[in-house]
Every structure is written in structure tokens, then in C-alpha cells.
Structure 1
Amino acid sequence: MSTEVRASALTLVGLVVFGVLLFGPAGTFGYWQGWVFLAVVILSAALPSVYVFRAQPATLERRMQVGQENRAAQRVAVVLLLASFAGAMVLGGFDHRFGWSSVPVAVVLLGDVLVAVGMVLSIVVVAQNEYAAANVTVEGRQEVVSTGLYAIVRHPMYAVSLLATVGMPLALGSWWAMWFVVPAASALVIRIRDEERLLLQELAGYRDYVHEVRSRLIPFVW
């Protein structure tokens, strides 16, 4: 099976899983916030990624290796991230069913915008750095990227993921689901700290890059 076919299959499976996590707890398909969220995911991530990954097939292969981590800290971070995303969707669905939150439509749409911006920028990160793999590793020909979004923070993929993570509960119309931002952000911190230990040891020029770009995740904060 070709890489593109496998990627398409995984995308379809992912959307089905998202649908189950959203509409199962909601107990109805009349969860409009869930439908808009899925549409945003498709339009801002799945479709643009087709163009980028056709131009960079090796990058597509790297991005499909999510979960195949060799480092214990990275495995913990990935499980925590996935659990946080799933938890936010499930709680958002239950919130809709039982009416725990009253989130204005404007705030829901703001959440969708944050999700869309985060996902589009994640594709930009991949376009700027072909070694932006799903797993933490250093390849033989890999070089430090210090331009584009990498000139703002050292880990732009995680920064834009955090942006989308904050937007997701709002997009789903659930104040309660915002609690899952905390473990998700913690997972990103764990991932970054462990990844930087590896990069400082194995990626030539990374130590100079650290001194050049001070912020890891959020500009002027951390």
C-alpha cells in the first residue's frame, strides 16, 4: 500500500473516530458545534496537507509515524496529548447533551478560528522544515532550521498545536473541556524538554540556535 493511500486511510479513520468521540457523548447528530469543528479540521488540515505532502513525500512518511517513540518521556507525552484531545471531545459532547455550558456563538466561532489557524500553521511548519517528524529523532543529513516560524520560537509545531488545543474546547461549546488544556500543555512541556536534550547532543548547530532564539513555545514567555 502506498504512503498516500495509507495517509488517506488514516485520515478517514481519524475523522470517524472524531465523530464517535463527539456525537456519541452528545447523543445526537444535531450538535452543530461538532459538525463545524469537523469541517474546520478537514478544510484547514486534511486538504492543505495533500498539496504539501505530495511535494514532500518523505515528510509525509515521517508524519505518519506518530506513536513510534523510542524515548520514554516522549511516549508519556504522546499518550497524555492524545488522552487530552480525546477527553476534550468527549466532555464537549456530554456538555452539549446536558447543557452544562452556555458558550456564545461568537466565542464558538473564535475557537474554530484558533483551531483553523493552528492547523494551517502546522502545515506551514512542515513546509519550512521537512524533518518535522511525528517522532523525536535526528537524521543523518538533518540541519538546524532557524528561519520562518523557527525564528520566533524553537518549537513552532508545538506552539501552533497549543493554539489549536486552546481553541478546541471553545469550538465545541464547552467551558468544562478547557480543563484538558492543562494536561495537553504539560505534555508539550515534557516533550520539549526531552527533545531539546536530544537535539543539543546530536544536532550540529542546535546549541547556537538555542542562544539565538530564546523562546521555546510561547514568545517572550517560555
Structure 2
Amino acid sequence: MITRLILQTVIWLTAMGALLFGAAGSLAWPAAWWYLIELGGLSLWLGLWLARHDPGLLAERLAPFVQAQQSRWDRLFMMGVALAWCGWLIVMGLDAMRFRWSAPFPVWLVSFGSLCVFLCLFLCCFVFQANSYAAPVVKIQTSRGHKVIDTGPYAHVRHPMYGAALLLLAGTPLLLGSWWGLAFVPVMVIGIGWRAVREERVLADQLDGYTAYMARVRYRFVPFVW
């Protein structure tokens, strides 16, 4: 499984690099290199941690993002996310490097973007520690004894991984130096919010105790916000 983790990470980073540097028209983009190194290194660290502490969840995380057990709407959503992510990387490469529509970002803002990326993956570790059913697709994992999780970060928000993802969405264009990339973030956040609402309908309908959990934990992503 570790071999698969490393292989998928390398393929994923190679594809992202091809989109970023292809759109930029140059390999001389230190911010993009650091982004790939940071994201890849943290992802491998998190995957290796899962391999030791929860191999079942790692297997779920490495599974295809389109699966037969998913609802049709979630399969379409995940395919849309993949396309949107690729387009987003291309836009940021065109903006930050090829055409330089955005003025160079100050070092402190780029550093803040890097910190956001780090915090996203760091917080995901706490999510995985609390929830062994945190698969990337919306489905009930009956064979793994799927149950409601209300400890750790789930005691405060119903979708802590989505909350952590907001940091990645904001940090990526800041690190790469693209205002155009940042302009697309609200649209992506709305998309994640839409999926969270649909996901909750599935869980409330098919997972015992989830409706009561929703009544206890009011907020979805960020405490006292939403």
C-alpha cells in the first residue's frame, strides 16, 4: 500500500507540475516548485501516518474518486472538481508567470499562503485520527462499520476536513502569487458548501444517529460562522 501511496503521489504531483509550468511557459518559478514540494511532502507524511495508524482509511483515501457506491450527483461533482482544479492551476500559471497580470506578491503574503497549505494538511491529521470513515467520496461504509463520529474536531463542526480545505484553497493562489486564482476561491467554496449540504442529506437518511448529531453540532465548516 505504501508503494501505491508513493506512486499516486508522484503521478499527482507530476500532473500538477505539468499544468503549472506548462501554463507558465517556464520552469523558473520558485513558488510553484515550493508548492509542489510542500504539498507532496506533507501528503506523503500524512499517508505514511495513516499506513501505520489506520490502513483501512488509507485504502479508502487511495481509492478512485469516482466509485460505483456513490450517488450519481457525487460522481458528477467529483469529475467537475477534477476539471475545475486543472483549470485553476492553468489560470494561475498564466496569471503569475506567463502574462504577469498580477503584480509580484510580497514575501509575507507568499509565506502566509505556504502556512495555510501546511495548516490544511496538519489539521487533516486530526480529522483522520478522529474519523476512520473520512473517505473522499460520499458513501456509507457498511462493511467497515460506519458510524457517526462526534469526537475531536467533529465535536465543533460537522465537516472539519472541508473547513481545513478552505485553507488550501486560499493558500494556493497566495503562495503562487495569483490574484486571479484567488478570485475563483469563493466559487469553489460555494461548491464545497453545496456538496456538504447534499452529503448531510445522504448521511441523515442512511446513517443512524446523524440527524441527532446535526442537532447537537450546529456549524458545518467554521464555528460561529457556518
Give me the TM-score of the superposition, normalised by structure 1.
0.92
Distance 1:163 1:187 in 2: 15
After superposition, the Cα gap between the structure-2 partners of 1:78 and 1:187, relative to the gap in structure 1 and judged at 3 Å, is farther
Contact 2:102 2:177 in 1 (8 A): yes
For residue 189 of structure 1, report the CA deviation from its aligned partner. Answer: 1.6
Give the aligned partner of residue 209 of structure 1: 213
Q: Say which is worse superposed, 175-184 or 148-157, in terms of deviation.
A: 175-184
For residue 204 of structure 1, report the CA deviation from its aligned partner. Answer: 1.3
Give the aligned partner of residue 50 of structure 2: 52
Q: 1:158-210, CA deviations, whole angstroms, 9 ceiling, x for partnerless residues?
A: 11112211111111110011122133212212211111111111111111111
For residue 16 of structure 1, report the CA deviation from its aligned partner. Answer: 0.3
Give the aligned partner of residue 18 of structure 2: 20
Q: 1:103-156, CA deviations, whole angstroms, 9 ceiling, x for partnerless residues?
A: 212111111111111122123211211110111111231121111111121011
For residue 4 of structure 1, report the CA deviation from its aligned partner. Answer: 2.6
Contact 2:120 2:165 in 1 (8 A): yes
Distance 2:111 2:16 in 1: 19
Gaps of at least 5 residues in structure 1 are none
Counterparts of 1:52-201 in structure 2, within 5 Å, are 52-65=50-63, 66-68=65-67, 70-95=70-95, 96-102=97-103, 103-140=105-142, 141-201=145-205
Q: 1:12-55, CA deviations, whole angstroms, 9 ceiling, x for partnerless residues?
A: 10010111011111111110110111121023222232122232
Distance 1:87 1:110 in 2: 23
For residue 7 of structure 1, report the CA deviation from its aligned partner. Answer: 2.1
Distance 1:36 1:117 in 2: 15
Contact 1:80 1:183 in 2 (8 A): no
Match of 1:38 among 36, 39, 59: 36
Q: 1:64-88, CA deviations, whole angstroms, 9 ceiling, x for partnerless residues?
A: 2222262122123223322332222
Give me the TM-score of the superposition, normalised by structure 2.
0.91
Contact 2:117 2:172 in 1 (8 A): yes
Size of the aligned set, in residue pairs, is 220
Distance 1:58 1:77 in 2: 24
Q: Say which is worse superposed, 94-103 or 182-191, in terms of deviation.
A: 182-191
Distance 1:29 1:105 in 2: 20
Distance 2:181 2:141 in 1: 38
Q: Say which is worse superposed, 45-54 or 200-209, in terms of deviation.
A: 45-54
Gaps of at least 5 residues in structure 2 are none
Contact 1:149 1:156 in 2 (8 A): yes
Structure number with the bigger relative contact order (C-alpha 8 A, sep ≥ 6) is 1
Distance 2:82 2:167 in 1: 16
Aligned with 2:184: secondary structure? helix
